[in-house]
Amino acid sequence: MKIIEPFLILYRFRNLLWQTTKSDIRTRFAGSVLGMFWLFFYPLLLLGAYAMVYIFIFKVKFHLFNSNEYVALIFCGLIPFIGFSEALSNGVSSVVSNSSLIKNTLFPIELVPVKAVLVSQSTQFTGMIMLLAVLGLLGKWTVWLPFFLVIWLLQILFSIGLMWILSSINVFVRDLQSIVSVLILLLMLISPIAYTEDMIPANLQPFLALNPMYYLIVSYQDVLMLGHFPSKDVFLILLPVSLLTFILGYWFFIKMKRVFVDNV
């Protein structure tokens, strides 16, 4: 398999992915009273819950930030977590729920997990718009701020690769859908959304390396809130892991696709 093959398939079907992703986003909110406004309300409601718990109940304080800046720091981690968790939740079952496309030549089955990830980015997109506006009001825009687009791209590639793997396994192990629901809750608790690495006991810090969201969230917080390039120790893991997951995930999916027809 050529290393560039997964990149080429996304480029080749870019228009089809764009049109079907837009259609799925509209369908997702069809019949809802608030419609697509939920893309704005959902991250705000979750942010409000986080702020209530950590500021008013736990009374967490940072010597670097006031309360408004601390809420913005939470938002920097919460928005990408929402995007990733929605991709994980929707992507795992994407192949099983679209089994009719296995032999479809107009919309290859390998694009189904990709579309699930792209649809999940709609909430992150609206959340990012709100976050950038807040950071502008707080005077946190720096020359490093545009670099969040690179981190976002790596997040999408990592998510697509992971969904290629997990959606393939889910064809044979349907329990994976239930396991993922628990995993998302666990990731929310152990990801550094409302706390920083230095707040974690030294004996527990090595466990951060096992959490993929740690590298993403810390990188977002560095460029958006702290105004500097992500830590080299973090980014030099995030970059190759994202690319390798994307490439190996495609390879895994293509191999598994051969036996899908007898199991869905």
Domain coordinates in residue numbering, the chain: 5-24+36-259
* pLDDT reported for residue 68: 85
* pLDDT reported for residue 35: 65
* pLDDT reported for residue 78: 93
* pLDDT reported for residue 58: 67
CB contact burial 149-182 (16+ within 10 A = b; e otherwise): eebbebbbbbbbbbbbbbbbebbeeeebeeebee
Q: Compute the distance between CA of residue 51 and CA of residue 194 in angstroms, rounded to an integer.
A: 9
Tokens (6 digits) for 236: 């030099």
- Could you state, in chain order, the average pLDDT of each consecutive group of 10 residues for the chain (264 residues)? 88 93 84 72 85 75 78 92 94 87 76 94 93 94 96 97 95 89 88 78 78 93 92 92 96 88 63
* pLDDT reported for residue 209: 80
Task: Write the CB contacts of 216 (distance below 8 Å, at least 6 apart in sequence).
Answer: 80, 84, 151, 154, 155, 158, 238
* pLDDT reported for residue 44: 85
* pLDDT reported for residue 32: 65
Determine phi and psi for 32, rounding to 5 degrees.
-80, 140
Q: Compute the distance between CA of residue 103 and CA of residue 113 in angstroms, rounded to an integer.
A: 16
With a pLDDT cut of 70, the percent of the chain lying above it is 92
Q: Which ranges of 173-229 does DSSP label H, i.e. alpha helix?
A: 176-190, 212-221
Give the per-residue SS3 of 5-39: HHHHHHHHCHHHHHHHHHHHHHHHCCCCCCHHHHH
Residue 31 Ramachandran class (φ > 0 left, ψ -120 to 50 alpha, else beta): left
pLDDT tens per residue, range 14-64: 999 999 999 988 887 776 656 677 788 888 888 888 888 877 776 666 677
Tokens (6 digits) for 42: 């959902």
By C-alpha distance, which of 149, 165, 150 is closest to 244? Answer: 165
* pLDDT reported for residue 208: 80
